[in-house]
Structure formats: C-alpha cells, structure tokens
Amino acid sequence: MSALPGFSLARRLAAGETVFTGWCSAVPSPLVPETIAREGFPAVTIDQQHGLWDNGGTLAAIAAIRSGGAAPVVRIPLGAFAMASRVLDCGAEGVIAPMINNVDNAKEFVSATKYPPLGERSWGPARSMTIVGITDPKLYLREANTSVVSIAMIETREAMDNLDAIAGTPGIDVLFVGPSDLSIGLSGGAELDPHSKTVESALDKIVAACRKAGKVPGLYCANAERAAACAKRGIRFLAVNSDLGFLRAGTAAQLKTLKG
C-alpha cells in the first residue's frame, strides 16, 4: 500500500477498490481534466499517444488534476519510456504504456518507472514532491516503487501469447486492454469490434492471468454502462469515455431539452 502523502491510485488498487478514470484526449486544456477530477472521478488520464497533448500541456494538466482531487495518469506515446520517467517526476501517479507485447517490452517499461532494484528510473522527482507536499526525499525513494502504477497495455496477438510472462514481470502493476487494437490484432486486421466474442474471450484470459500473478486487470470502455458491466467481471482499472464524448453527451442532453 502506498505510503506517500497525496498518492491515492496505488493505495486504492492495493485495497481491492475498482478505480474509474476519466479520459482526456481531444481537448488539450488543463481546465478539462481538472473539471473531470472535480466532478468526482478518482483518476483522470491524459492521452499523449493518440491525443492532442504536448509535453507542456501534459505537465500542467498533472498539477490541475491533483488540484481537482484526483490521481493523474498519463498514457505515453509508443515506446516513449523517457516520457514515463518525466511525467512521474512531475507528479503523475500512473503511466500507461501502449503495445507491451513481450517480457523485453515490459522490462524496458519498468526500467523507466521504478527505482532499483526493480528498475533504473533516474532520480529527479522535485516537482512531484512539491505538489504533494513531500519534504523528505528518502521517503519518496523508499515508497515510490509501490506508490506509482505501471500500466502495460495488452493490444496484440503477441501480447496474448506472452500474457502470463508479462503479468509475471516484477514492477508491472496493471494489464490494461485496448479493445479496439486487440480486435484488430486478433483478427489479423480483418475486424474492428471492441466487443467481439474474440475480445470478450481474451478479456477473460487477461483477468485470469492477472488473478494468477496478483496484478490488476484494466480496460478502456466507450461508456459508463460498459465500465459498470466490466467491473462486475473483476476488471478494476477502467477508463470511461473521453473528454470529447463527455462534451458531446452534455451538449446533446441540453439540445434535447431545448427542442422539447
């Protein structure tokens, strides 16, 4: 369990809680994730992989999310493990890495997010310590490996073939499914269906692998209904919709009322 002041994500997951995270991709303003945090999401994710967030905006958003009372999470671009260390140094509590396909990928990811003996993360968390009020660097070093969450995305047939090995990699905390990419990968590019029977079967295998390894299963969900249903299946880190989805839904609801 996390002992770092101000860090909540690892503590919630270690306690067996289900954590829902808002997802910010299309509107690169720190005000948006801060608002989502203030509405009550326990975590908010900034998507650098497919979203419009640059590094400066991301670092500002991390502080904004914290000011809103939520845990900041960042999905880094493909292979950008140097960015993983940077966002952690600036206060992120979790990092999502896409396309973790094998043990080598998993170890490279852990190397950037965990300090020795688990990884090789370089020292420099001054901003993170400042925004949560940690004054003792030895405390941060001692507790960081269990307080930050390394989230490996499972999106390909290769990842499914290496599922148990990835789940068993020390320092990997969550296996997070990208269901659209997984549907493409498992169908050899013939299908884009995040809710296909093939994906549903793969989800069951991922949940079982996480249970066996003592890790947390996670999933991106297009809406709250899907997230609630998957929480009942034991998936405990669930991304819900997106900033643009929230904006569209809110706008549509207002217009429906106006049109009577």
Q: What is the rounded distance in angstroms from the CA atom of residue 30 to the CA atom of residue 155?
A: 28
Catalytic status, residue 195 = no
Cβ-contact 71, 9 below 8 angstroms: yes
Q: What is the rounded distance in angstroms from the CA atom of residue 132 to the CA atom of residue 6?
A: 5
- Other C-beta atoms closer than 10 Å to the C-beta of 254 total 10
Strands (E), 141-257: 149-154, 174-177, 216-221, 237-240
Q: Which of 31, 39, 40, 50 is catalytic?
A: 50
Cα distances from 201 to residues 56, 133, 186, 204, 241, in angstroms, run 39, 44, 11, 5, 22
Relative orientation angle of helices 31-38 and 243-259, to the nearest 10 degrees: 70
Q: What is the rounded distance in angstroms from the CA atom of residue 34 to the CA atom of residue 111?
A: 30
Give catalytic residues, as residue numbers: 50
